[in-house]
Structure 1
Amino acid sequence: MTCYRNGVKCMLLLFFMGLAALNTYSYWKDSLNVMTENTSMQPKVTVEQSSIIPFQCPYESWNQIHPDIVPNENLHLEWIQSNISRRDNILESQIRLLSSFVYLDHISITTNSQRSYGQKVYCRYYNCLREEISNSSYQSIFFPMNIIRCPRRIGVKYMSISFDSEEIPQEPIPLVYRVFEAPIHEVSVCVGPIYGSESKWLEVAEFIEHYKLIGVRYFYFTVFNMNEYSRKIFDEYLRTGEIELTVIQSEYKTIDWQFHLLQINECHQRSKHHSKWVINVDIDERLVILDDKINSVGSLLSGYNDTVAEVGFAIRRIQKTEKLPEKYESDEQIISKMEFLKYNVSSPVSWGAYKTIYRPEKIAAMYYHWAYQRYPGTVAEYVKSEIALFRHYRTTKKNILGSGWLTDPNYKNFSIVPEETKFAEKLKENVLKKIKYVYDQRVLYCEEIAEIPYEEYKEFGHDIFNCTFRKETGSNKSVD
């Protein structure tokens, strides 16, 4: 009996000793695993497959319609068959995408083409990731010269085109938002294209400040090329949010008036549903209101109902005999070069090349000065020249388009017709203020540099400052 009890005790002792050994081994193994994980160059990461969700493009409330038609498409086809507004300017021009706009009921794409009128083309649609939206392409047509209209698609953010549904399309371009229930600008200006070697900076400032004084608050500019000095004034008006700037990249080394319709058509689409009225002018043309009872162009147009698609104005040509200044030198120089002060030799009033202000959504196709085709149910009106007209500062140089205008019988019997005195004085003040803000620059004086950056420059081995000491001449003075 004693021997049996001793055997049981021995078995229990062995059991507990084994259990203790097992616990010790488990603890040692866990500790080793922890040490391995802490010292590994590739830490263990556990990722549940269900948590990997690809980025999804947002679908804004305005971007969720998918119509099957383009407004007025059948009407456009009828006009195409009759060659309404057809204009083939450059027969071998490339077809480059320029801009695209999304409106409440369709999308417009503008291109550089000047030879595609009536040509079939496919609209191609892309989401926010620039991925083509499946089963979305649509066969459309060029009308007018360089414009394609497309139906909207859900979630589209970029557009492109191709001439076959299987063709690799051009690189897509972003949609510009124009889904407005009502225009956000009352009157804006579509400004003729900027190109050529002549500096435009002073003319741009005069133009914008003139129209601001008669109530215009927004401008659409188009640039083919300009020098760096002139670009500074555009950058200033971009900063203040008063202009949109479209830059057209062309395959041609030189640009001339043949490319003007690209700007007119692009600006027509750009301003549509964005501005109620658009003044269609070149940069050397200024609307002047002669009726003292009318204080703005908005009030001038306010009396026209919704059937009026465009309003015509007579012109008065004014001889511009010199080129614009290359750079700002002084206040006196700028005042002496301001066109509205310098040039007043004026022709009689003429309707021969009248200009218009138009309602963009009521026009199907624009021409250089007026609408080529209005939509049905609309009319044109004309303003008496005693109420308002355009002053056209037309160059007298003989090596440009239309240089023979001085021999035209419509422009004889010149007289001196200056701007209204108070208006001219205010315009001079505003132009000079803007020009000085942008171009009246001075050197950096070394004394202006605070002590800490001055010492840091020396410490890090910069022995030249781009500055001038007030008591010395020259620049890039040594800091020794």
Structure 2
Amino acid sequence: MRQSIDFSGKGTSTSVTSLPVDSVFRKIFLKNATELLIYDVAAGEKPSYGECAIEDWNNVTSDAIENEELHKKWAARGTGNMPNLAEGELRVVSAFVYKTEIVVTTTAENRFGKTVYCRYFDCNRVEIPNSTFQSYMFPMTSAYCGRRAGAKFVGLTEDRYAEAIDPAPITFRIYEKPVHEIAVCVGPIYGKESRWLEIVETTEHHMLLGIQYFYHTVFDEMDSYTRKLLDEYQRLGTAEVTVIQTEYKLMDWMFHMMQINDCFYRARHHSKWILNVDIDERLVMHRMPLLSYLRTVDDNIGEISFAAGKIQRNRELPKEYTDTDSLYEQLLFLNSNTTAQTMYMGMKALIRPDITDALFYHWTWAQKPGVRIITASKKLGYIRHYRTTLPSLVRTWIRHELKFKTTRLNASFEEKLSNAIIKRVKRVYEKRPIFCEEIPENLLKAFTKDNYHCEWKNNGTAFGA
């Protein structure tokens, strides 16, 4: 139904007359003598939810938590407690479903041991009735929750009846055997510094060792140039990227444990072993290849610690790739080789996330009954830590080192690594213009010249110039 509405402007110099208006979809008001205010009616409706299908693996309801009494014992003595950011909000990051329980990771570093309530939602994000499970924060920023049939999203609240804000989708981790034999939990990426060189070096280096997968974590933001490289690794299926956001304007090293905690549970049952290293650290094996070594390790070994040697990085990281010659001069493993003594202080570890718990920067604080931890001989392998001497968190480390020597990777490994890095970097960052010659002539004539961003191959001039 349509009607005409007459607004007369008596006493004014302007009038509005006979405007056709749809009475259902549009409402017109005279805002003042010379201006109309038009409201387009936006029809809203509550979703008509369909029935949620429940897969066999998800048709489980249980309050049982594996090793629950052991968890209580660990929590009572403060195992896995690193309090920080006392006023930080409780925000859910991820939820991982295992055979007997769900682990929810959060951004809260200030609630260890405190009661929380696990809240369960179906595929329509509707809370499952009478499903709330009482738990507590352990370890660090996590909570163990029971399972609920049909749960697809899980949230945490500090009050049983409070609104669960932004519950996280459940990530499947019920595997008969791990998807990957070994993966890397890469330290967090944060700030606006370009980190593409470190990412490509650590990735291609560890891939040559036989490592199959990489878990990356971004704090809040990263530069778009580096993100291109991460996106490519994720597209190839060799990496996944988790973004953690908080209420803070800036996230830095103080949030590191959030990344470690989330990555640990992300890898559980998805990767048999994880190498927990920062983005500037590389594992080097001497006596035998990494996978061959791990396949000789007893099944009750949950952690293998490696000594670390700091290597001076005296230059800024490049913001962008320019050309191959410049890249050779920038590669850390070729140009940073002044090495301090290899020491177990600052060691890093290979870890079995299925039989350990409460991961710290350098080791696990807790292991299941019967699980042992061992220390690798320096003759077996060590960590090369390309640590900056420029202004940073611990730039003064160099003052405490007494002896330095020059060390390098063996020539054949350096050659393989150089080739792999160059191939990947060129694939991601070498770009060329669109040439006008490759666009059909009839398409070039279809629109005005400002719609084409090509240049002529024969002379390099822009289209229409």
Give the TM-score, by structure 1 length.
0.84
> What is the letter of the counterpart of residue 261 of structure 2?
N
CA distance in 2, matches of 1:352, 1:383: 13
Give the counterpart of 2:430 among 427, 435, 440. Answer: 440
CA distance in 2, matches of 1:184, 1:235: 21
Find the residue that maps to 1:316 and give its secondary structure: strand
Find the residue that maps to 1:180 and give its secondary structure: coil
Stretches of structure 2 lacking an aligned partner (at least 5 in a row): 1-47
Contact 2:286 2:381 in 1 (8 A): yes
Q: Does 1:246 align with 2:242?
A: yes
What is residue 339 of structure 1 aligned with on the other side?
332
Find the residue that maps to 1:405 and give its secondary structure: helix
Find the residue that maps to 2:105 and give its secondary structure: strand
What is residue 270 of structure 2 aligned with on the other side?
274
Q: Does 1:405 align with 2:405?
A: no
User: Residue deviations 1:241-266, cap 9 Å, x none?
Assistant: 11010001122222221111000000
What is residue 89 of structure 1 aligned with on the other side?
84
User: Residue deviations 1:408-452, cap 9 Å, x none?
Assistant: 2xx321111011100000100000000000101111121121223
CA distance in 2, matches of 1:65, 1:471: 67
What is residue 370 of structure 1 aligned with on the other side?
363
What is residue 478 of structure 1 aligned with on the other side?
464
Find the residue that maps to 1:360 and give its secondary structure: coil
Find the residue that maps to 2:454 and give its secondary structure: coil
What is residue 140 of structure 2 aligned with on the other side?
145
Q: Does 1:216 align with 2:211?
A: yes
Q: Does 1:195 align with 2:169?
A: no
User: Residue deviations 1:62-112, cap 9 Å, x none?
Assistant: 111111221222222222221122111111111111011111111010101
Greater Cα offset, 215-224 or 163-172: 163-172
The alpha-carbon deviation at position 196 of structure 1 amounts to 2.2
Find the residue that maps to 2:434 and give its secondary structure: coil
User: Residue deviations 1:148-206, cap 9 Å, x none?
Assistant: 11011111111111112211111221000101111110000000000123211111111
Larger helix share, 1 or 2: 1
CA distance in 2, matches of 1:463, 1:106: 58
Find the residue that maps to 2:346 and give its secondary structure: strand
CA distance in 2, matches of 1:253, 1:168: 25
What is residue 256 of structure 2 aligned with on the other side?
260
CA distance in 2, matches of 1:116, 1:478: 63
The alpha-carbon deviation at position 348 of structure 1 amounts to 1.7
CA distance in 1, matches of 2:113, 2:396: 35
> What is the letter of the counterpart of residue 454 of structure 1?
L
Find the residue that maps to 1:62 and give its secondary structure: helix
Q: Percent identity?
A: 39
Contact 2:64 2:100 in 1 (8 A): no
CA distance in 2, matches of 1:130, 1:455: 50
Find the residue that maps to 2:357 and give its secondary structure: strand
Query: What are the within-5 Å matches in structure 2 for residues 54-453 of structure 1?
Result: 55-224=50-219, 225-291=221-287, 294-295=288-289, 297-397=290-390, 399-408=391-400, 411-453=401-443
What is residue 38 of structure 1 aligned with on the other side?
none
Give the counterpart of 1:467 among 445, 454, 464. Answer: 454
Find the residue that maps to 2:197 and give its secondary structure: helix
CA distance in 1, matches of 2:385, 2:70: 36
User: Residue deviations 1:372-399, cap 9 Å, x none?
Assistant: 22222111111111111110001012x3
CA distance in 2, matches of 1:167, 1:196: 34
Contact 2:216 2:241 in 1 (8 A): yes
Larger strand share, 1 or 2: 2
CA distance in 2, matches of 1:177, 1:422: 40
Stretches of structure 1 lacking an aligned partner (at least 5 in a row): 1-52
What is residue 47 of structure 1 aligned with on the other side?
none
Decide whether aligned partners of structure 1 residues 54 and 345 sit closer, same or farther in structure 2, where only a CA change above 3 A counts. closer
User: Residue deviations 1:278-331, cap 9 Å, x none?
Assistant: 00000100001112xx23x21121111221110011111110001110111111
Q: How many residues align?
A: 417
> What is the letter of the counterpart of residue 69 of structure 2?
N
CA RMSD, 1 decimal: 1.5
The alpha-carbon deviation at position 471 of structure 1 amounts to 4.0
Contact 1:264 1:368 in 2 (8 A): yes
> What is the letter of the counterpart of residue 469 of structure 1?
W
CA distance in 1, matches of 2:285, 2:253: 28
